[in-house]
Amino acid sequence: MKIFLDTAIVEEIREAASWGILDGVTTNPSLAAQSGRSFKENILEICEIVDGPVSAETVGLTAAEIVSEARLVCSWHRHVVAKIPCISEGLKATRALKDDPNVRVNMTLVFSANQGLLAAKAGANFVSPFIGRLDDAGHDGMELIRDLVAIYDRYGFDAEIITASVRHPRHVVGAALAGSHIATIPFKVLQKMARHPLTDVGLARFLKDWEKVPDHDTILKG
């Protein structure tokens, strides 16, 4: 499963990229506002850090506006993917962009298998189900991932599922077990994934025992 970072904070992206596990980045207007920078400038810097898809959201509400904005943001850099909301006008725009070789679409704000099915049929390259928000509303967000994986596999859709609105590390494990192609993860959740209290305890013990090894303070210093 590919791992994307769900942020527009460049420092977080640089750190995650340094781990060697980052495949892409997703942003949205809320995350862009948190960065406090020019939207285009921020997206371009992210594209220089990450060798993979970088989603930039459109804000138009008509198909014509969405198509125009999608082509604009995708012209900024080859990594940019236009993030389009799963509404009827977004579906129209996605279909209109399907044969444009310079535009890829990430259909976002997907909350049902019906929406995910329509997004794939319209020609979206990526589809982003928001599982955390579904959980918050009393539904089983991971059930949506399982349903979409089964539907896409059965009918041979090319769209990649991006498990989004991830709240905690268990969401990531669930997405991987369900067969999601991608999970996009907030940096705080990514940090938690890399840690375990038993790892910390084990490392502390190893380092304490290392001090008992002759020449321990010089042998690894060349």
| Cα–Cα distance measured from residue 26 to residue 59, given in angstroms and rounded to the nearest whole number | 15
Q: Of 57, 6, 60, 8, give the one whose Cα is nearest residue 32.
A: 8
CA distance 216 to 220: 7
Burial of 51: CB neighbours in 10 Å, binned 0-12, 13-18, 19+: exposed
Q: Are the C-beta atoms of 163 and 182 separated by less than 8 Å?
A: yes
Question: In this structure, what token pair is assigned to residue 97?
Answer: 């962009």
Q: How far apart are CA 76 and CA 45, in angstroms?
A: 11
Question: DSSP alpha helices (H): ranges in 156-196?
Answer: 169-178, 187-193
Tokens of 54: 């970088």
Catalytic entry in 2, 83, 92, 208: 83
- Cβ neighbors of 101 (< 8 A, separation 6 or more) are none
Give the 3-state secondary structure of residue 165. coil
- Is residue 2 among the annotated active site residues? no
Query: Which residues are catalytic, by number?
Result: 83
